[in-house]
Structure 1
Amino acid sequence: MKHPPAANPPYKLPPRLFSARCNACWFTAALIALVIASFWSLDLQWGQFFSREAAQSMGRFVAEFFPPDTSRDFLNKVAIGAWETLAMSALGTALAAVAGLALALPASRLFDGDSAWARTPTRLVLNALRSIPELVWAALLLISAGLGPFAGTLALAFHTTGVLGRLFAEAIENAPPGPGTALRAHGVGNVRVFLYATLPQVLPQLMSYTLYRWENNIRAAAVLGVVGAGGLGQLLAFHMGLFQMNKTATILGAMLLMVAVVDATSHGARRWLTR
């Protein structure tokens, strides 16, 4: 008894690795060429970096960090600097979240047919805010705000406003339009549509973005003190400049501990919000 021929398999052969019509292939090839050109153009002295002399110098440098300074007076000073850094990051992020949401509304198209005439200029403002790094913002603001945490807080707020504003605008535009359309069909205005339809849908995402940026701002705030913006960074720059490496080790340990605690707390909060 003859069996019927087997049917064609329900799968297709994988596409070719490279195709002239594949835009992603050309993009990947250009990216690889850029990386190769970067290695070729930069003076990367790998041999010197991995030499025995470099390893010995690095070993002597690391040995100077031990033992860390754990005197009570210095630990109190580090605790004050850590609190200042934490406060800078929290306040800067809170200001940025409020300003980012205020700018995200004109930077987004709220519904189909919305003219959104302010969308392009507002997005240009957000691009300008986030294109300037926090360190540059701090260096500029030191002229008007003076030395200390005020300049660092404003620097974090300006840069983070640009980041959160763009993320918030994308979240608002990608929100499901059904609830808002239903309210508009009953004559509800745009403000109440946003408050009762759009905002409840995107609020967990906005909170997640804000918490994630707070994680980043903790690290940024610790570095901003290098230019005189207060916090642990200012202590770090001072004691490193005096080559007091045991005190530097204590400050670095405090930075690592603070960032780890905040990262864990923020990660848990973001998971809870997005359930």
Structure 2
Amino acid sequence: MSARDATLPAQPKPCVPCLLVWAGLVAAVVASFAWLSLDLRTLFSAESLASMGRFIREFFPPDLSASFLARTAEGMLQTLAVSALGTLLAFGSGALLALPAAGRWGALTRAGARFFLNLLRSVPELVWGVLTVLLVGLGPFAGVLALALHTAGVLGRLFAEALENAPPAPERALREAGAAAAPAFAYGCLPLVWPQWLAYGLYRWEMNIRMAAALGFVGAGGLGQMLYFHLSLFQQAQAATVIAAMFVLVAAVDGASARLRRALVPAHA
């Protein structure tokens, strides 16, 4: 063996567990295609491509009449209001539920609060939407409740984890100095977790603006309900305008949320 070969690092041994994991993933994908009878050749056949092309052409040109644009703008405002109000209610509810979920009131209340939060977030927004429509009827109120219920479960769990990971020393020092529990939490712990809470809330608002549009398909108002109505009547020109409005609204909310996070959340948070 030459001196040059002696300085070369030894070749790493093959990672047998890694290879087994990759083989299992490939086998699972192949088995899924076989079990679900997915045939991609049908999707990309000449007949399917021609049918998709005809369907897409029916969306152009969009309906840009003044009356329909006014209705679409009203739907955008309704969708925005549903997402904002639902997120705001969820933020407050999640903050309240995060206190017992973080173990501040004992192990029993911690287990109960975490079970309730898991129940709220385990039910998808669309399922909550169906239930709230049955409860309060068609309209934006059902959408607000559906978003608030699911998002409260998500934010409550995230807020509780932030509380558990917060340094306990500032709050403990205030308690030892004679401060009551509420002021000690407000001045010793809340300032440490507030930037995280705010970032989580703004991020969920971005997600809820998309879900608020989708909730319209179950009768919760807004752009989704308009889109479902016009697609049901094969009015693709009007549907194209509503889809474009959804894109504009989501892009605007994403940009506004990102700027708010940069302005309100410290860089070190």
TM over 0.5, shorter chain: yes
Alpha-carbon distance in 2 for matches of 1:145, 1:224: 14
Alignment CA distance shift 1:163-1:28 (3 Å)? farther
Contact residue 208 and residue 274 of structure 1 kept, 8 A: no
User: Where in structure 2 are there 5+ consecutive unaligned residues?
Assistant: none
Cα separation, partners in 2 of 1:246 and 1:94, compared to 1, 3 Å: same
Q: Name the residue aligned to 1:274.
A: 266
Aligned partner of 2:72: which letter? V
Partner of 2:241: 250
Corresponding position: 1:18 with 2:15: yes
Which amino acid is 1:185 matched to? E
Specify which structure has the higher proportion of helix: 2
Match of 1:59 among 47, 53, 56: 53
Q: Please give the per-residue CA displacement for 1:150-206, whole angstroms capped at 9, x wherever unaligned.
A: 111100000000010001111111112221222232233332221111110111110
RMSD (Å) for aligned C-alpha atoms: 2.4
Partner of 2:101, secondary structure, is coil
* 2:130 aligns with one of 125, 139, 151: 139
Query: What displacement does 1:32 show?
Result: 5.2
Residue 268 of structure 1 aligns to a residue in which SS? Answer: helix
Name which of 120, 125, 131 aligns with 1:129: 120
CA separation of 1:39 and 1:17: change in aligned 2, threshold 3 A: farther
Q: Does 1:106 align with 2:100?
A: yes
The 3 A distance-change label for structure 1 pair 26 and 47 is: closer
What is the aligned partner in structure 1 of residue 78 from structure 2? 84
Q: Return closer, same or farther for 1:176/1:17 CA change in 2, 3 Å cut-off.
A: farther
Alpha-carbon spacing, 1:105–1:26, altered in 2? closer, same or farther (3 Å): farther
Q: 2:87, 2:205 within 8 Å by CA — same for their partners in 1?
A: yes
Change (3 A) 1:71 1:124: same
Distance 1:15 1:169, change over 3 A: farther
CA distance in 1, matches of 2:98, 2:11: 42
Q: CA deviation at 1:15?
A: 6.4
**Is this contact kept in 2: 1:108–1:116, CA < 8 A?**
no
Count matched residues. Answer: 262
One-letter code aligned to 2:107: A
Q: Which residue of 2 aligns with 1:207?
A: 198
Equivalent position of 1:158 in the other structure:
149
- 1:197-242 CA distances to partner (integer Å, 9 max, x unpaired)? 1110111110100000000100000011111110001100000000
Report if the CA contact (8 A) 1:205-1:274 is conserved.
no
CA distance in 1: counterparts of 2:12 and 2:112, whole angstroms: 42
Match of 1:194 in 2: 185
Aligned-pair identity in percent equals: 52
Give the structure-2-normalised TM-score: 0.90
Partner residue of 2:42 out of 48, 57, 60: 48
Q: Which amino acid aligns with 1:81?
A: G
- Would the aligned equivalents of 2:103 and 2:109 in 1 still touch at CA under 8 Å? no
> Which residue in 2 is equivalent to 1:227?
218
Displacement after TM superposition at 1:141 (Å):
1.2
